[in-house]
Amino acid sequence: MTDVTFRVFRGAGTQGGFEEYTVQLSEGMVVLDAVLDIQASQAGDLAVRWNCKAGKCGSCSAEVNGKPRLMCMTRMNTLPLDQPVTIEPMRSFPLIKDLVTDVKRNFEINKRVRPFKPKPRQADGTHRMMQYDIDRIQEFHKCIECFLCQDVCHVMRDHQKPDFIGPRFLIRLAALVMHPLDTENRLTELKDAFGIGYCNITKCCTEVCPENIKITDNAIIPLKERVAGNFYDPLAWLWRKARGKRPDTRPGTE
Amino acid sequence: MNHETIEHDVIIIGAGGAGLRAAIEASGKGASVGVVCKSLLGKAHTAMAEGGMAAALTTADPRDNWEMHFRDTIRGGKMLNNWRMVKIFTQEAPDRVNELEEWGALFDRTDDGRILQRNFGGHQYARLAHVGDRTGLEMLRTLQNHGIHQGIEVYMECTVVDLLMDGGKAAGAFAYWRDSGTFVQFRAKAVVLATGGLGKCYTITSNSWECTGDGQALAYRAGAELIDMEFVQFHPTGMVWPPSVRGLLVTEGVRGEGGVLRDKDGKRFMFDYIPEMFAGEYAETEEEAKRWRPGVPEGPDARRPPDLLTRDVVARAIRAEVRAGRGSPHGGAYLDIASQASEAQIKKKLPGMYHQFMQLASLDITKEYMEVGPTSHYVMGGVRVDPETCSTSVPGLFAAGEVAGGLHGANRLGGNSLTDLMVFGRRAGAGAAEYAGALSAMPGVNPDQVRDIERLALAPFEESGTENPYEVMQDLQKMMEHDSGIVRAKEELADGLGKLRTLKERSVKVRVEGNRQYNPGWHYALDLHNLIMVSEAITLSALHRDESRGGHTREDFPESSPELEKVNTVVRNRDGEMAWEHVTREPLPGDLQELLSHPHLEEPN
Ligand SMILES: Cc1cc2nc3c(=O)[nH]c(=O)nc-3n(C[C@H](O)[C@H](O)[C@H](O)COP(=O)(O)OP(=O)(O)OC[C@H]3O[C@@H](n4cnc5c(N)ncnc54)[C@H](O)[C@@H]3O)c2cc1C
Ligand code: SF4
Ligand code: SF4
Ligand code: FES
């Protein structure tokens, strides 16, 4: 089997550089396999986050050959192997060590989102929701919090706009706003406190999402429309809530 | 030495489903609560659960009720379950599902807008509330987003090395921050263990690096009892190819949605493996099995296919087929959903599986067969707890979720774990808060104990070490796979215990490179102590159960023993040695006993 060279970023805080390692390729190998192999036999203290090794937990985000990806879902046979494979930590988060970055900021943002507040249950004790009314929200709930979208969003990278909550949390807001049971009006804070206006729909977030969530088309743009509508016509929001049914949450055809 | 000290009424170790549910409950009862976890919040193993959570909601099949769920759980557990736990569990299960919905979870819906339920192995009726094949993620995210507003403090990427003890009482936990490598002590009146499983004892596993049996080992060292440790569940359908994904789970939901198992010639072999206990309840011919449809209540002429038998049975069947030379090219069996459901159905109900095979094995499950084989998946045994409060035999120490034992007996039914986390997570949180509320003062910390823990934790940095922690771990996993795995025998188990002594000696001689900051080698070095301890508990318990039952299969004792049916194995630390005993279980009261012989296909009324 062939040998492959990896250039892996090693360092802590603000210091560091690339180190080269050679790993023997095996069938079906993903980038994370190579990193764990290096860890087990060449660099026992190489820091990396991972859990599921199946694209389900969003722990192993990094930049592979300059592209933000999940290492456990990047097959070696999709990369050019005649040149070294470069692995670096996500760029927009502060470095802790090697491939591990400090992503606490995202957890802080999440706390700013007010909790879900459902309407009362029906007389028979159930909540009734139609599958077609929740398909879209289930798409948003697929988010594995890999934070790759937060990593690539230029508004997040530009630290002049600390209010902006970023694409991951805009889809969380979208999931709440479109939730058939939620009774909170969240549109005012989307505009004021969460800075949705800063997003200029570059779609970089959608491009990197490993869950293929259409972050911009299905979440941010509809939210922007609602924010605009609400701003001009607060009654429209009440009306939608009172009807309790929102045909515009049905899956689109993009 | 002075360490950073953090105080709470209740400290919860683990942020999976059980830990977060416990935290929400304890905080709701007015306790100050801290949650400690090894990974980031939201990454616990619970996020990987796929198929669903079991509860007799009766939205998919009106014939269901808690009694039927009780019956299925005990029969699936091959009678070894603690019936008090099962009763609480099956009765409270529907409330716990509805509660998640109340907190924002969105389960798949029935046509009239209620929660949809799916079929799963060993469950008589469609019983699993689910979200496609990512139910665990929905559960964990819901708890996380609800929990952050309940005044709970979360300490992420912080690994507990040992419990702090005040005399015989729990007094907190000693841990280190992974990002800096520095120590921190959590002082608390009550401690809840919610640390999950121990799949990393084995080479082939569906579990992540986190599942190293920490909670079971912490409890054991603190003097608590472990029960049923011989019962490890090997899930019948792990991926077998390519090597990079060996062991990765293929959800039972594939069979719940109609998938069938085939040998190398395409023959459906499960008809040949229906155990006596379940005779008459499963389809006996392929023609009959074809009449059964997922989502449609079965009739007497269309019993469920034997591919949906309990996991222990299916895992052994696949192993037997492979041994007989009828396996797939890479030593598994074929799992076929392609011929059983349309491409659209597969992509809607099993999107994660579609994606997983496409991306990691370049295989299109809507067109081709998957190759699957057994993978170590879940431990039925664990810390012995009181069914009402989840307290252990150590005052102030509680346990819930996979780390606890008793509910599942000798074999867990799919979907019963996620519900377990909610039912007993809640009870453990309440139990701990109540216990803490009754204590007037914070328990003391014993400086000698702290010094000892610290010395042991730092030993791997000493120059004198010679062993590589990764190698010791691999050797342990190989030993467990071979000597204490899916099929066992006396000689190998005894041999395994001997090898464990050697591994123990090696584990104290490990040497790690680098410094204390975010050092996975150091982490593995400390995990080794826990892995070896739980491996010993599994092997010792297995050696002394001279029968085959549920997850425990003995080549030298292939039958179940009516005598051993009455007892559970309990393991504890006696003067530094691991001691075992068989304890007689409280028998089922008459009315519950009757449920077990309940006719299985009664008409709805
Ligand atoms: C792939 C897969 C699919 C599954 N699918 C299903 C399903 O469909 N239905 C079902 O019912 N069950 C399923 N299961 C089983 C179920 O997911 C687990 O049993 C369950 O999630 C365990 O939850 P828990 O809360 O007990 O622990 P976990 O979710 O494993 O969480 C353990 C927590 O403890 C922390 N921890 C551990 N040790 C320490 C320490 N020393 N210091 C600090 N923190 C520590 C970890 O960081 C983590 O936060 C599945 C399991 C797997 C592996
Ligand atoms: S579309 Fe908006 S949120 Fe997404 S990356 Fe661009 S600016 Fe950021
Ligand atoms: S939206 Fe997609 S890219 Fe962003 S955190 Fe979630 S899964 Fe990752
Ligand atoms: S390890 Fe879970 S997403 Fe890669």
Shortest Cα–Cα distance, A160 to chain B (Å): 27
- Domain end among A68, A101, A134: A101
- Alpha-carbon distance A88 to A8, whole Å? 6
CA of B85 to the centre of ligand 1 (A): 19
Q: For ligand 4, pick from A30, A36, A48, A53 the residue to mutate: most ligand atoms within 8 Å of CB.
A: A53
Q: What's the pLDDT score for residue B310?
A: 85
pLDDT digits (tens, 9 = 90+) for B29-51: 999 999 999 999 999 999 999 88
Decide: helix, strand or coil at residue B277. Answer: helix
For residue A250, is it within any domain? no
- Domain range for A160 is 104-242
What count of other Cβ atoms lies within 10 Å of the Cβ of residue A185? 14
- Alpha-carbon distance B570 to B335, whole Å? 37
For range B1-29, the mean pLDDT? 96
Q: What's the pLDDT score for residue B373?
A: 94
pLDDT digits (tens, 9 = 90+) for B289-307: 988 877 676 666 778 899 9
Q: What's the pLDDT score for residue B276?
A: 84
Q: CA A145, A50, A138 angle in degrees (round to 5)?
A: 30
Whether the pLDDT of residue A249 is over 50: the answer is no
Question: Tokens 């080698």 belong to which residue?
Answer: B521
Residue B209 binned pLDDT confidence (cut-offs 50, 70, 90): very high
DSSP annotation of A219: I
Whether the pLDDT of residue B500 is over 50: the answer is yes
Same-domain status, A65 and A187: no
Same-domain status, A198 and A235: yes
For range B335-345, the mean pLDDT? 95
Which has more pLDDT, B279 or A174? Answer: A174
What count of other Cβ atoms lies within 10 Å of the Cβ of residue B344? 9
Whether the pLDDT of residue A12 is over 70: the answer is yes
- Domain end among A101, A128, A152: A101
- Of A244-248, B200-204, B389-393, B516-520, minimum mean pLDDT range: A244-248
CB interface of B with A, residues 442-471, below 8 Å: 468-470
Q: Is-contact A64 A208, C-beta < 8 A?
A: no
How many secondary structure helices (H) and strands (E) does chain B include?
A: 16, 19
- Alpha-carbon distance A25 to B379, whole Å? 33
Same-domain status, A121 and A232: yes
Record: contact B104-A118, CB cut-off 8 A: yes
Q: Encoding tokens for residue B537?
A: 């508990």
Return the beta strands (E) in B204-277 as ranges.
Answer: 226-227, 232-239, 260-262
Catalytic hit among B235, B384, B506, B523: B235
Give the helix/strand (H/E) hosting B219: helix B214-221
- Average pLDDT of the residues of chain A: 91
For residue A137, is it within any domain? yes
Active site residue B235: yes
Cβ pairs bridging A and B (under 8 Å): 162
Chain A partners within 8 Å of B251 (Cβ): none
Same-domain status, A210 and A173: yes
For residue A184, is it within any domain? yes
Q: CA B109, B101, B29 angle in degrees (round to 5)?
A: 165
Q: Which residue is closest to A176 within chain B, CA to CA?
A: B104
Inform me whether the C-beta atom of residue B5 falls under 8 Å from chain A C-beta atoms. Answer: no
Residue A100 binned pLDDT confidence (cut-offs 50, 70, 90): very high
For range A83-98, the mean pLDDT? 96
Q: What's the pLDDT score for residue B602?
A: 36
Whether the pLDDT of residue B340 is over 50: the answer is yes
CA of A67 to the centre of ligand 3 (A): 15
Record: contact B106-A179, CB cut-off 8 A: yes
For residue A132, is it within any domain? yes
Who's near B235: CB < 8 A, 6+ residues apart? B206, B249, B252, B311, B315, B374, B375, B376, B377, B378
Whether the pLDDT of residue A253 is over 60: the answer is no
Question: Which residue in the set B47, B101, B352 is minimally distant from A127, CB to CB?
Answer: B101
Q: What's the pLDDT score for residue A233?
A: 65
- Alpha-carbon distance B327 to B263, whole Å? 6
- Complex ipTM more than 0.85, yes or no: yes
Which has more pLDDT, A235 or B216? Answer: B216
Q: Encoding tokens for residue A185?
A: 């009006």
- Alpha-carbon distance B526 to A187, whole Å? 49
- Of A20-24, B274-278, B320-324, minimum mean pLDDT range: B274-278
**Atom 7, ligand 3: residue with shortest CA distance:** A143
Q: What's the pLDDT score for residue B605?
A: 28
- Alpha-carbon distance B195 to B44, whole Å? 9
Question: Which residue in the set A47, A97, A141 is minimally distant from B141, CB to CB?
Answer: A141
CATH number of the structural domain spanning residue A125: 1.10.1060.10
> How far is CA B70 from each of CA B54, B76, B84, B90, B598, rounded to the nearest angstrom?
11, 10, 10, 6, 11
For range B556-576, the mean pLDDT? 96
- Alpha-carbon distance A1 to A26, whole Å? 7
Q: What's the pLDDT score for residue B601?
A: 36
Chain mean position to CA B176? 25
What count of other Cβ atoms lies within 10 Å of the Cβ of residue A233? 11
Q: Is B18's C-beta closer than 6 angstroms to any atom of ligand 1?
A: yes
Residues pairing with A64 in the sheet: A67, A87
Whether the pLDDT of residue A232 is over 70: the answer is no
Inform me whether the C-beta atom of residue B295 falls under 8 Å from chain A C-beta atoms. Answer: no
Q: Is-contact A223 A174, C-beta < 8 A?
A: yes
Count of structural domains within chain A: 2
Q: CA B70, B73, B78 angle in degrees (round to 5)?
A: 125
Residue A245 binned pLDDT confidence (cut-offs 50, 70, 90): very low
- Alpha-carbon distance B174 to B189, whole Å? 14
Which has more pLDDT, B530 or B2? Answer: B530
For residue A180, is it within any domain? yes
Q: What's the pLDDT score for residue B326?
A: 96
Which has more pLDDT, B352 or B386? Answer: B386
Same-domain status, A97 and A144: no
Whether the pLDDT of residue B564 is over 90: the answer is yes
Q: Look at strands B183-193 and B397-399 and give their pairing.
A: parallel
Who's near B440: CB < 8 A, 6+ residues apart? none
Same-domain status, A65 and A111: no
User: Using only C-alpha atoms, what is the Rg of chain A?
Assistant: 21
Q: Is-contact B568 B583, C-beta < 8 A?
A: yes
Name the maximum alpha-carbon separation found in chain B: 74
Q: Is A174's C-beta closer than 6 angstroms to any atom of ligand 3?
A: no
Residue B516 binned pLDDT confidence (cut-offs 50, 70, 90): very high
Residue A142 binned pLDDT confidence (cut-offs 50, 70, 90): very high
CA of B426 to the centre of ligand 2 (A): 39
Q: What's the pLDDT score for residue B604?
A: 31
Same-domain status, A120 and A187: yes
Q: What's the pLDDT score for residue B60?
A: 86
- Alpha-carbon distance B94 to B107, whole Å? 13
Inform me whether the C-beta atom of residue B358 falls under 8 Å from chain A C-beta atoms. Answer: no
CATH number of the structural domain spanning residue A14: 3.10.20.30
Chain B partners within 8 Å of A27 (Cβ): 242-244
Question: Which residue in the set B109, B244, B248 is minimally distant from A33, CB to CB?
Answer: B244
Ligand nearest to the CA of A210: 3
Chain B partners within 8 Å of A1 (Cβ): none
Question: Which residue in the set A28, A47, A49 is minimally distant from B245, CB to CB?
Answer: A28
Q: What's the pLDDT score for residue B293?
A: 78
Whether the pLDDT of residue B199 is over 70: the answer is yes
Q: Encoding tokens for residue B268?
A: 């459906």
Q: What's the pLDDT score for residue A211?
A: 95
Same-domain status, A125 and A233: yes
- Alpha-carbon distance B28 to B562, whole Å? 45
For residue A17, is it within any domain? yes
Q: For ligand 2, pick from A148, A204, A207, A218 the residue to mutate: most ligand atoms within 8 Å of CB.
A: A204
Domains of chain B: 4-233+377-437 (3.50.50.60), 238-375 (3.90.700.10), 447-584 (1.20.58.100)
Q: With pLDDT > 90 as the criterion, what percentage of chain B qualifies?
A: 88
What count of other Cβ atoms lies within 10 Å of the Cβ of residue B225? 19
Record: contact B179-A96, CB cut-off 8 A: yes
Same-domain status, A87 and A10: yes
For range A20-41, the mean pLDDT? 95
pTM for the model stands at: 0.94
> How far is CA B473 from each of CA B78, B202, B219, rounded to the nearest angstrom?
32, 9, 21
Shortest Cα–Cα distance, B108 to chain A (Å): 7
Q: Is-contact B89 B67, C-beta < 8 A?
A: no
Q: What's the pLDDT score for residue A9?
A: 98
What count of other Cβ atoms lies within 10 Å of the Cβ of residue B589? 11
DSSP annotation of A199: -
- Cβ-count burial of B125 within 10 angstroms (0-12 exposed, 13-18 middle, 19+ buried)? buried
Shortest Cα–Cα distance, A129 to chain B (Å): 5
Q: Encoding tokens for residue A182?
A: 């939620």
Residues pairing with B233 in the sheet: B378
For residue A24, is it within any domain? yes
CA of B351 to the centre of ligand 4 (A): 17
Same-domain status, A72 and A173: no
DSSP annotation of A79: S
Q: What's the pLDDT score for residue A252?
A: 36
Q: What's the pLDDT score for residue A250?
A: 38
Q: Is B196's C-beta closer than 6 angstroms to any atom of ligand 1?
A: yes
Inform me whether the C-beta atom of residue B138 falls under 8 Å from chain A C-beta atoms. Answer: yes
For residue A247, is it within any domain? no
Q: What's the pLDDT score for residue B536?
A: 98
- Domain end among A69, A101, A133: A101
Same-domain status, A116 and A91: no
**Atom 2, ligand 2: residue with shortest CA distance:** A199
Active site residue B3: no
Question: Tokens 């691991």 belong to which residue?
Answer: B578
Same-domain status, A95 and A212: no
